[in-house]
Structure 1
Amino acid sequence: MRLSVIGCGYLGAVHAAAMASIGHDVVGIDVDEQKVAALSAGTAPFFEPQLAELLQAGLASGRLRFSTHMADAAGAGVHFLAVGTPQLAGGHAADLRFVHAAVDDLVPHLRPGDVLAGKSTVPVGTASGISARIAPTGAVLAWNPEFLREGWAVHDTLAPDRIVVGVSSGESGERAAEILREVYRPAVEAGAPFLVTDPATAELVKGAANAFLATKISFINAMAEIAEAAGADVTLLADAIGHDTRIGRRYLGSGIGFGGGCLPKDIRAFAARAEELGRGESVGFLHEVDAINLRRRDRAVQIVVDALGGLVFGKRVAVLGAAFKPFSDDIRDSPALDVAVRLRGLGADVVVTDPAAIDNARAVHPQLGYERDRDEALRGAHAVVVVTEWDEYRRHLSPEHAGALVSARVVVDGRNCLDAAAWRAAGWAYHGMGRR
C-alpha cells in the first residue's frame, strides 16, 4: 500500500521506516530540510536502536523516501499525521499549531476515499475539528494513537501490544478501519489486538495511558519518601506489592522519577484539557503526581549534598547519564541533567557522561563538564551519581573497577538500579533513594 507520513521527528521517522520494512511504499514529509537530507542519506537524526538499519534497508529497497514537499504525499491511500504537539510556552496545554498547519497543507492533496490517520498526541476533541476540515475532500479521518517507548520504538511499532483506531460510525468509518487493519496486517496476524473505537475514545487512550503510568511511578516514589522516613526499603516494598496481580511489578521502579518529551507534557496537557471540559476535579490528582515527580529531583540533589558532608563546592561529581532514559539520546526534561545543573549551581565540578546524549546535552548545558569515556568521568570523582540506567553503569561497571578511579568511594544510586550489597562490600558509601 502507498503511505505518507507527515512529520518525520521521533514518531514519524520510526513509523515511516517501520512501515517500509513490512512492504509498504512510504514517503515521509517534513519541513526541516536538514532532517530530510539526513533521513534520505540513511542517517537517523536521533539515537534509536535499529532505526538506522531500517532506514538504510528501506531506502535501498526503493520503498522509502523523504521529501520537503507536501505535494509528494499525493496519491497515498493513507496519510499518517505524526507532527509534534509540544507544551505551550507559559502554560500546560498542548500546542496544536503544527498539527493544524500540516492538515491545511495536506488538504489540497487529499482524494475521496483517502484515510488521514492521526498519530500525534492531541487533546480529546481535536479529531472532530480535523474531520470537519478534511470532509470537503472526501477523505476520512481515523485516530490511531502511538504507544512508543523511546529505546524500544522500532519494536513497539512492528510488534505493538495493541492497535487502537478511532473512527466515526457508518460505512466510511468502517472502511477506514479495515484499511488500517490491512496496513497493520503483519502485527494483527501476529496477535496484536486491533481495537476499533470512536475518535474521542481513541484520543483519550494515549493521555489516559500516560496518566496511569505517571501515577504508578509517582506512587512508588511517594512510598520511597515514606520509606526513607521510616527506615524501610522501597525496592523490597515494590517487590512485595508487585506480586499482587492487580498491581503488578512493572513501572514500580522508584528513584529520581520520569522525564522526557511525553509523560511530563502529556499529563499536564491531559489535566489542562479536563479543566477546559469542566472536569478538572476528575484528574486533580495529576497535579500531585507531577509534584511528587519533580520533588524526587530535589531529593536526589540533597542526597548528594548530604553524602559529601553537606558541602559540594569544589568537589568533583561524576554524573552517569544525560538522556532521560537508557537507549536514547533524548534530553528533554531529563532528570539527570536537572540534577547535574543544580549541583553545578552549588559549586560542584560536575562531569557528565552518557553513551549517546553528550552532544545534545552540551548544546543545551555548555556550563557542565563532559567526558565521552566513562572511566575518564569517574577519574578523581568525590561522588558518583547514577541517573540513567544504561547497562554500562548498572551491569557493566564493577565497584572494584570504579573504586580504582575515584578519589572517594561515594555512590548515589538515583535509579535504585545497582546491587547495593556488592557496592557496600567493596567499601563504597552507597546511597539509594528510599532504599536501605
Structure 2
Amino acid sequence: MGTHVIKMPDIGEGIAEVELSVWHVKVGDMVVEDQVLADVMTDKAMVDIPSPVHGKVIALGGQPGEVMAVGSVLISIEVEGAGNVKESAQPAPVKEAPVAAPKVDAVVESKPVAAPRPAAVCQGPMVAREADERPLASPAVRKHALDLGIQLRLVRGSGPAGRILHDDLEAYLAQGQSNASAPAPAAYAQRTDEQQIPVIGMRRKIAQRMQDATQRAAHFSYVEEIDVTAVEELRAHLNEKHGASRGKLTLLPFLVRALVVALRDFPQINARYDDEAQVITRLGAVHVGIATQADIGLMVPVVRHAEARSLWDSAQEISRLATAARNGKASRDELSGSSITLTSLGALGGIVSTPVLNLPEVAIVGVNKIVERPMVIKGQIVIRKMMNLSSSFDHRVVDGMDAAQFIQAVRGLLEQPATLFVE
C-alpha cells in the first residue's frame, strides 16, 4: 500500500490561497476516481476538488473555513501500489473536520416557482452523514428529492460510491411508512437547544460582499409600480404560438430587453465605479447579472451582451446559467463581469424590497411579485396586473433624477411592450 497526497491546486488568475469550504468525505471513507472530495472557495466561485485515484482517506489537511495556500496538502489517500509519496514520508496528521454550518439559503429566484410539497412524513432508516456532507446524486435525483420533501443526507445510496438513485428515494419512502404514525413533539414544549453556525464558504463571501457594498457605496432606492398587463398578454401569446418550438418565455427576458433599450439613454447607469482609482467606466455592452439562488448561496451568473440577444436567446441563456449556478457548475467567467444586476424574488417578491448593489456596479433592479388589483383608468375601475420595481443606485455616481427617469423609461417600455422592439 502507498499514500497519494493531493495538494491544493493552482486554480489560476494569480490566486495564491483559497478557503476550504466543505468536505464531502471524512477519514476512513473509501473514495473512487473523480469523486468530489471537497469544495474550495475563491473570490469568484466555488470549485470542486475531485479525487484522481481510488483509495481510503487517511488524513484531511484542513478544516472548513480555513484559508489554505496553493500547494499545501489538502488530503492524503491510501492507495494500492506505491502512491506518490516516498515510503519514508509520513502523511499529515489526521484532522477530523468539525461539522460545518448548514447552508443558509437566500430566497432570490430568477423566476416564480411553485410551492414545494410538504416534507415527507415517513422517515426510513437514516444514514449517518455530517450536516455539511453533500451526498452524491444527479441533478434530476436532487430535484426529485426536493419535490418529495426528502433530505438527501438521510437517504442511503445504492449506486457507485454511494451515489443516490431514484430507486433509493422510493425505497426510503417505502421503508418509512411504518413510522408515519409516530407521535409528534408537543406543540408547546419548551426548547433550550442552541446551534452555533460558523460563517464560512459562500456564506462568508456573501457576508463580506454585502458588508463591503453597504459600507462603500451610497445606496438609495427608488420604487415604482408598473402595469404589466399588456406585456403579460404578449408573453402568453408568444408562448402559445412559439413555446413548443422555441421554448417558454418568463418575464425576465422582457425585463432584460427593457433594461437594454432604456440604458441607451442612460449610459451613466450601465457602468462600474472603481472608487480606489476614482474612475467610472461606462460600458457600451450590457452584461446583465441575474441573481440566482443556489444550494451554496446567492450567485449572480451573467448574461453577456444582452444588447445583441433576442427574447428567446436571452431566455435560453438565463435558463442555462441559472441551472449551472444551482448545480454548482457555473464557471468563474460566468459569475463575473456584469454591468447591471436584475434580482427577482419571484412569487415571494412582496411589494417592496431594498436590494444591495453588486459592486462595482452602480445600479441593481429588483422585481417584486405580480398582483391583480383594481386600478382607475380613464375614470373606470378595472382589474390590472401590477408589479413594483424596487431598485437601488450608487448616489456617488447616479443622481436621483437620472435614476427616476431611467426607471420611468423601463416602466414605459413594459407598459407599451411594442416599443421594446421599435428601432
TM-score scaled to structure 2, two decimals? 0.27
Normalized per residue, which structure has more helix?
1
| Higher RCO structure, 1 or 2 (CA under 8 Å, sep 6+) | 2
Give TM-score scaled by structure 1 length: 0.27
Larger strand percent: 2
Name which one, 1 or 2, has greater alpha-carbon Rg: 2
